[in-house]
Structure 1
Amino acid sequence: MPLVNTVEMFKKAYEGGYAIGAFNVNNMEIVQGITEACQELKSPVILQVSGGARKYANHTYLTKLVEAAVIETDVPIALHLDHGNSFELCKSCIDGGFTSVMIDGSHLSFEENVALAKQVADYAHQFNVTVEAELGRLAGIEDAVNVSAEDASYTNPAEVQEFVERTGVDSLAIAIGTSHGAYKFKPGQKPQLRFDILEEVARRLPGFPIVLHGASSVVPEFVEMINKFGGQMPDAIGIPEDMLRQAAKMAVCKINVDSDLRLAMTATIRKYLAENPSHFDPRQYLAPARTAIKDMVAHKINTVMGSAGKA
């Protein structure tokens, strides 16, 4: 099965009351762990690459790793640019084989965001590539995204219909209380998603796929493991998975997960090297890290996305 865009994925997800997991990839082990879980659970998947990951691993290496995953599996896979910050970056990914791109103009004025998103959508649609844009700004830090709590803002539902109609984008990321990175909420602070905003957006955009960024749950097990084996991570609270599952039953068709994968991989490597200090073969510590990625993705598919058996 060749790489696909997100049109059919999202149509089925919206009608079926589930979401597609969009998992960030940086190297071979992460690609393998994600796709092995999806293959076993028969779940469609979005493999997404940030601008930072593309610089780190090289566009060609990443696309060839994803092509290998397509050969080794028979589930629908979309290759997506996460948080593209310019038309030029989106164009480069479209020209280089990506089947979906995100243009993030959320830091711009409404009119500037519209103009940039339309420019990307007009170009992408010539090549059957789908486009995601963003309204509202999530707080947090992750890769090139760095938004303070003061600069964060919820999505204004009154703007979404005009934005989608004028830009022609295929999906819309909204801000309803999620946050990028591992440090989403302080201890004692209660996470709460604004389902009222999501409901109003869905009312104004019936049948239109909505996206949630910053949706890692920051599994305490891995934070504790990192700290036990030499880390200094403070207590962190993520988004409760039952809230994310509720969003997936509504209009949310794509849920992004990155920090939970990083935590699982790093914690597993730290533990292995602490317990086996004489080992120096990367395969010895990357193999259990790959398994940790696979287990995390399987957990997200079963607990959050609801996409098992939907391939």
Structure 2
Amino acid sequence: MPLVTSKEMFEKAYKGGYAIGAFNVNNMEIIQGITGAAADLKAPVILQVSKGARAYANRTYLMKLVEAAVIDTGLPICLHLDHGDTFELCKSCIDDGFTSVMIDASSKPFAENIALTRQVVEYAHDHGVVVEAELGTLAGIEDEVNVSAEDSSYTRPEEVQEFVEKTGCDSLAIAIGTSHGAYKFKPGTKPQLRFDVLEEVEKKLPGFPIVLHGSSSVPQEFVEKINKFGGNMPGAIGVPENQLRKAASMAVCKINIDSDLRLAMTASIREYLAEHPDHFDPRQYLKPARQAIHDMVAHKIVDVLGCDGKAF
């Protein structure tokens, strides 16, 4: 099976009341852990690549690793550019074989966001590729994306219909209270997604797939393990998983997860090296790290996304 777009995935997810996991990838072990869990659970999956990850892994190597995952698992896999910031970057990924791209012009004025998104949509659709756009800005840090809490803003439901009609985008990322990175909310706070905003967006765009970025839950067990073995991470609270499951039962068809994978992998590696200080073979500590990714993704697929058994 070749790489697929997210179009059919989202149509089924919207009707079925579940969401597809979009997991960020950086290297072979992460790709293997994600797709191994998806294959075990017969779940469709989106592998997404940031601008920074593409530069780190080398665009050619990364494409071949994803192609290997398609061959190995036989799953419907969508390869997606996460937070593309220019037309040129989106075009390059499309030309390389990506089946989905995100153009994030959410920091620009409304009219400029529409113009740039429309430019990407026209090129992408001419090449059979789908486009995700964004309205509203999330706080937090993820690669080149860095937005302060003061500069973040909720999506304005009254703008979404005009935006989608003028751009022709295929899905829309909205801001309803999630945030990028591991440092989301201070302990003692009670994060609450703005379901009122989501409901209004759903009314304006019936049947249209909505995306949530910054949706890691930041499990404290991994933060504690990292700190136990030499780290210095402050405590943080992520997005409650029961709220994400509720969003997935509504219009949200794609949920992005990155920080949880990084935390699981880093905690595993720190623990292994602390317990085996004389080991120096990367395979020895990357094997349990890959399993940690697998276990985290499996949990998300079953308990948060609800897309297990939905691959075919």
1:237 is aligned to 237
SS of 2:182 mapped into structure 1:
coil
2:305 is aligned to 305
1:279 is aligned to 279
Deviation at 1:74, TM superposition (A): 1.8
Calculate percent identity across the aligned residue pairs.
77
Gaps of 5+ in 1: none
TM-score, length of structure 1 as denominator length:
1.00
Deviation at 1:246, TM superposition (A): 0.1
1:161 is aligned to 161
Deviation at 1:118, TM superposition (A): 0.2
1:32 is aligned to 32
1:6 is aligned to 6
Deviation at 1:188, TM superposition (A): 1.2
Which AA in structure 2 matches 1:292? A
Which AA in structure 2 matches 1:219? P
2:254 is aligned to 254
1:190 is aligned to 190
2:127 is aligned to 127
SS of 2:149 mapped into structure 1:
coil
Which AA in structure 2 matches 1:8? E
Deviation at 1:32, TM superposition (A): 0.2
Which AA in structure 1 matches 2:210? I
Which AA in structure 2 matches 1:237? I
Deviation at 1:289, TM superposition (A): 0.2
Matched, 1:217 2:217: yes
1:98 is aligned to 98
SS of 1:150 mapped into structure 2:
helix
RMSD value, Cα: 0.4
* Deviation string, structure 1 residues 231-251 (Cα, Å, up to 9, x no partner): 000001000000000000000
1:309 and 1:66 map into 2 onto residues whose CA distance is: 21
1:103 and 1:111 map into 2 onto residues whose CA distance is: 14
2:194 and 2:22 map into 1 onto residues whose CA distance is: 21
* Deviation string, structure 1 residues 13-68 (Cα, Å, up to 9, x no partner): 00000000000000000000000000000000000000000010111111100000
SS of 1:253 mapped into structure 2:
strand
1:106 and 1:46 map into 2 onto residues whose CA distance is: 22
Which AA in structure 1 matches 2:279? H
1:228 is aligned to 228
SS of 1:172 mapped into structure 2:
strand
SS of 1:265 mapped into structure 2:
helix
1:113 is aligned to 113
Task: Flag as ranges the 4+ runs of structure 1 deviating above 4 A.
Answer: none
Deviation at 1:153, TM superposition (A): 0.1
The 5 A counterparts of 1:146-157 are 146-157=146-157
2:66 is aligned to 66
Give the length in aligned residue pairs: 311
Gaps of 5+ in 2: none
SS of 2:301 mapped into structure 1:
helix
1:158 and 1:257 map into 2 onto residues whose CA distance is: 28
SS of 1:81 mapped into structure 2:
strand
SS of 2:214 mapped into structure 1:
coil
